[in-house]
Structure 1
């Protein structure tokens, strides 16, 4: 039997990669359980992955495109809003599931010793699966609407990784907070709902008045929405400073979220 030695935290209290690798089966099992259990005993099953973004895009097209008459940068409004919803759902799903992961697995966290960071990380698998299914729907619509995004479509995996990094980074910090303060579970969905409408998910950045556009342009959510739409539906390329800012913010948020999570990890079993 292998011997587990619990040592004092190292500098910055970063997790040991050897420990993470040895516990990789924990990630696989948690991810497998999350994928299987999520749609068990549902009538539509995995079809919910398609229904949710499609219905949201349909409502946004009706409200913002038909009623409000906002611009969609020359694209069919349904396709434009669906592209925004795919990127938003990846961010929202990664953050939300990571945030509630420790509380949802409190019996495992309090009774078994393993790197706790693996719990929020394991939630990424089901979110990426949902994203891939939705992306397939988006690609089918490209053929239906005869939209050719060109070579930027190859960058979609890059944007997906960066979006997931932001979501997991914030989600890890929220998960650590929720162990002690369950209010986070109530506040976070409310904040995400506000952020959904405060970001150009269902409307184009060109529809925003010039005096307010700078507020949206400094929002990192706008950066990955514009980058993702550029790659999927061929809108105008975002400025280089936004792309570089997106990379920097993704790495920074993930690193800071990891540091915050690790700084509270030793108290999880006692508090949860």
Structure 2
């Protein structure tokens, strides 16, 4: 009797952590909750700064998407990366015939084909990045709606993937300089600054257009027309000396004006036109900062409308 009472005291109440139930000679023990609570990703509110540490953690994804963009561009192509040379070269030949020979556009005493190509080289990169980055979010809508990652990786990857074309097109510049026996001067020292200005302009406008294209699909259709208009707003086929004095205070605010004229001066051993470069560099920096904030602001609606 006393043994039965002692055993009864040892039996725990049902629902305790050590509760053991027997059924059909099998022991069933409660499973402890070993899973942590899921991380809730809340949409950003307001104009918040971009988390650069988070972007750095996803650097492998940025590298993969950049490499994928390069491979997709030349997949099943016979000429491959040679298109990075053929396209700007043939465009330059057309401009030389139409504007250099027929329209007699002033090229500041330099061969028009060299004058035109030194402008088309950075311009093709700029226009190509606008198209790629504006469609980057829509083209990767499946990733946006299923997996979390910094959305800014997509326009960044599209812009970085175009750098290969930019580097390859430089080979044509070297060929022209050798053919026309032109020796670049000390202005090449400032070429990295011009490239940074080109990247900031491309990234800033690219992030703005990519964020707008998710909500407004008209951006995709208007982009081709917009790029053509922007080309004639930059000194690609003409020199800045042809711009009337009354319009120059507004004209120099175009960041690509300083980039193009800076490229020409750096490779043709001429004084760098800082009066054209520094106003555009300020605008390029402002576009980059505004583009980051606007992209972050609109990021919370990407998964809903993509």
Q: So what's the TM-score if we normalise by structure 1?
A: 0.92
Cα deviation, residue 99, structure 1: 1.1
Q: How far off its partner does 1:154 sit?
A: 2.5
In the alignment, is the contact (CA less than 8 A) between 1:83 and 1:233 conserved in 2?
no
Q: Which residue of 2 aligns with 1:16?
A: 51
Tell whether the 8 Å contact from 1:156 to 1:232 is kept in structure 2 after alignment.
no
1:179 corresponds to which residue?
214
1:104 Cα shift?
1.0
> Residue by residue, what CA displacement relative to the aligned partner does 1:39-98 show, whole Å, maximum 9, x if unpaired?
111222111000011011111111111001111111111111000001111211222211
Q: 2:264 maps to which residue?
A: 229
Q: 1:88 aligns with which of 98, 107, 123?
A: 123
* Counterparts of residues 153-232 of structure 1 (less than 5 Å): 153-210=188-245, 216-232=251-267
1:44-83 to 2 correspondences below 5 Å = 44-83=79-118
The count of residues paired between Structure 1 and Structure 2 equals 271
CA contact (8 A) 1:102 1:179 kept: yes
In structure 2, C-alpha distance between the alignment counterparts of 1:8 and 1:177, rounded to whole Å: 17
What are the Cα deviations for residues 193-240 of structure 1, in whole angstroms up to 9, with x where unaligned?
A: 011123210121223455555553443321221112111233442134
Contact 2:257/2:280, CA 8 A, preserved across alignment: no
Is 2:247 the partner of 1:247? no
Q: What is the alpha-carbon root mean square deviation over aligned residues?
A: 2.1
Contact 1:31 1:122 in 2 (8 A): yes
Q: What TM-score, normalized to structure 2? A: 0.82
Query: CA, structure 1 residues 248+163, in 2 after alignment: closer, same or farther (shift >3 Å)?
Result: same
Equivalent position SS for 2:47: helix
Structure-1 separation of matches of 2:239 and 2:193: 22
1:150 is aligned to: 185
Residue matched to 1:271: 305
Deviation at 1:157, TM superposition (A): 2.2
| C-alpha separation in 2, matches of 1:65 and 1:236 | 23
Deviates more, 1:74-83 or 1:242-251: 242-251
Which of 242, 256, 270 is residue 290 of structure 2 equivalent to? 256
Pair member with larger Rg: 2
Contact 1:230 1:238 in 2 (8 A): yes
Change (3 A) 1:218 1:266: closer
Structure 1 105/75 Cα, relative in aligned 2: closer, same or farther at 3 Å? same
Matches of 1:154 and 1:176 in 2, distance apart?
35
Residue 8 of structure 1, CA deviation: 6.3
Quote the residue 2:15 is aligned against. Answer: none
C-alpha distance in 1, partners of 2:253/2:285? Answer: 17
Q: Which moved more, 1:79-88 or 1:40-49?
A: 40-49
**2: CA distance, partners of 1:59 / 1:212:** 28
Which protein is richer in helix relative to its size?
1
Q: Contact 1:162 / 1:250 at 8 angstroms: preserved in 2?
A: yes
5+ residue gaps, structure 1, are none
